[in-house]
Amino acid sequence: MHVDLTVDRLAERLGATRRQLERAFAAHGRSPGQMLREERLRLARMLLAADPDFPLASVAKLAGFSSERALTHALAR
């Protein structure tokens, strides 16, 4: 996952507008932002499972979270 991947960048890479992407995702009951957050969280959990001693700040950066705090908040949900 690219750390700087946003909904707008995803839409651009797919050759669509943000609104087109949002409509396509809405048809499946979610949003592109939700999908990006879920994928970042999945990657973070995978990294932590592989090495529980890996620094949380490094996991957050590699998984695309803006900060260690943002990752901790997402994990707590």
> pLDDT tens digits, the chain, 77 residues: what are they?
556 788 999 999 999 999 999 999 999 999 999 999 999 999 999 999 999 999 999 999 999 998 999 999 999 98
Backbone angles phi, psi at 14, to 5 degrees: -85, -5
pTM: 0.80
Which one, of 76, 74, 69, lies nearest residue 34 by Cα? 74
Please give the pLDDT value at position 1: 53
Please give the pLDDT value at position 2: 54
Please give the pLDDT value at position 4: 74
CB atoms within 10 A of CB 71: 22
Tokens of 10: 């995803």
Domains and CATH numbers, the chain: 7-76 (1.10.10)
Backbone angles phi, psi at 64, to 5 degrees: 95, 15
